[in-house]
Amino acid sequence: MGNTKNIMKKIKSALISVSDKSNLKPLLQILKNNNIKLISSGGTFKEIKKLKFKCSEVSDFTGFNEILDGRIKTLHPKIHAGILNKRNNKSHIKDLKKNNFENIDLVIVNFYPFEKILEKSKNHERIIENIDIGGPAMVRAAAKNYNDVTVITAIEQYSEFINELKVNKGNTSLSFRKKMSQLAFTETAYYDSVISSYFNKISKTYFPQKKIIHGNLIEKLRYGENPHQESAIYSRNKHLSINKIHGKQLSYNNYNDIFSALTISKTFPKNIGTVIIKHANPCGVSILKNNLESYKSALACDPISAFGGIVSCNFKVTQNLASELNKIFLEVIIANGFDKNALKILKSRKNLRLIDATKFSLSEILKFNSTSDSILIQSEDINQISKKEFKIVSKNQPSKSQFDNLIFAFNICRYVKSNAIVLASNKATVGIGSGQPSRLDSCQIAIDKMKKFIKSKNEIVAASDAFFPFVDGIEKLVQSGVTAVIQPAGSIRDKEIIKFANSTNTVLVFSKTRHFRH
């Protein structure tokens, strides 16, 4: 283990500069108990004095007054030499004596609240003034010199630090200093990444030369997709924008399904729409205005696949709907809130996860996919679909209800794994074919689902996430009773597809946009 003097380090002096001044008193008390000299500046100095603890001001310590409206406080050789010098290096010791500098053994710093200011303000000047310079500089210096110096960068570390001093009688161990150093470098990296992201955002640089991704650990999950895989969920914010209000811990697969469901739900008009997800694919969707009928029609699309799935309601769940939801086994129910009677019914199932997604939004989402040392990044396919994107290419013109159903089906199609085919009727899906290498197979699966579960005689429309490369796909749909088809343009056989549609009196609409989802 080596010389214990090099492992245990006595703290004699501390520099404290914190933006968040809460919970300082127990920290200051343990420092006083161990006769540790305090140095501080600005508001922290005033707070320490207010709490009736002895403290030297940084300007008195350095002999240099704060300047530039406080932009320069701790950026001084006496501060950084006191932190950075190696205590057993003769040259360093000589330099300190020559300049009449002294050691600083402990640095306690948390940064200007840049992230909080971003949430509260759009004033660029105010945001810039909340970029901390001196704090990260001191933290990096102390973290680099962890062999001799202890660094504390978060209020959450105070209790562990206090315990460390109590156990070691005013000393810190090398293992503790290493741990705090690692946390400190993570803190400065995170802080700089938030600043970098802000500048990329205001300059609309979505794919910079160097991409920095920051996130806060929300929770470590029991395992990943399978029990032998490790997993965790992170967020750019301190908390997720969804709130679990009941049920057992969410799994990796639960989260994957939840976000798949919400990506669809939040494209619907306010307080309308039900989505049922199984293995990240929709197996039933409806946008009927009556919420109970919306759920029933979504479930009718594929009630077998819905078993053990998740339901996302883009509205508040009431007692009547809760009673209906309670009739089948579900892993998760998502809603924009639940009324008291609904909660009473649904909470009777101990393990059923209930998620309040009222605050969830799809704004400015980037989608990530990683393999080995590479990360694929793209903007999410969430733009609102409008009729302007489409061109009617058949002689037969769609009715208003047909066109509405075509757009509904096309919107759902972009969230179904390719190759994707969605059959719809009366603002609800009636058959979904997903994830097949052959588009013809997806057509057949969607048709089979419809024939198995749906007895409706209403008009049926079909959507495809990409063009039909051959006539056989659209032919199969028309033979099953489809009267209108929507698909992206772009095939060398588009004219053949149009000719077939006209020969069968089928409505055919082309989209300017393709919507693969691999």
Give the residue numbers annotated as catalytic, written as ranges.
Answer: 144, 279
What's the CA angle centered on 232, arms 230 and 238, to 5 degrees? Answer: 165
Q: Is the separation of the CB atoms in 39 and 14 below 8 Å? A: yes
**Which is it for strands 460-464 and 310-313: parallel, antiparallel or unpaired?**
unpaired
- What six digits make up the tokens of 430? 């009636």
Q: Is the separation of the CB atoms in 417 and 515 below 8 Å? A: no
- What six digits make up the tokens of 255? 């989260």
Long-range interactions of 358-361: CB distance < 8 A, separation 24+: 359/241, 359/242, 359/243, 360/241, 360/242, 360/262, 360/266, 361/241, 361/266
Q: Could you give the CA distance from residue 145 to residue 133 in angstroms, rounded to a whole number?
A: 19
Q: Is the separation of the CB atoms in 159 and 167 below 8 Å? A: no
Long-range interactions of 321-326: CB distance < 8 A, separation 24+: 321/291, 321/292, 321/295, 322/346, 324/292, 324/295, 324/296, 325/295
What are φ and ψ of residue 392, in 5° steps?
A: -80, 115
Beta bridge partners of 338: 317
Q: Is the separation of the CB atoms in 353 and 335 below 8 Å? A: no
Q: Could you give the CA distance from residue 50 to residue 47 in angstroms, rounded to a whole number?
A: 5
Upstream peptide bond of 458 is cis (omega within 30 degrees of 0): no
- In sequence order, which residues have a C-beta less than 8 Å from that of residue 255 and are 6 or more positions away? 221, 233
Beta carbons within 10 angstroms of residue 358's beta carbon: 13
Rg (CA), the chain: 31
Q: Which residue has the tokens 């969230």?
A: 415
Distance of CA 178 to the CA centre of its chain: 30
Distance of CA 251 to the CA centre of its chain: 15
Q: Could you give the CA distance from residue 511 to residue 391 in angstroms, rounded to a whole number?
A: 6
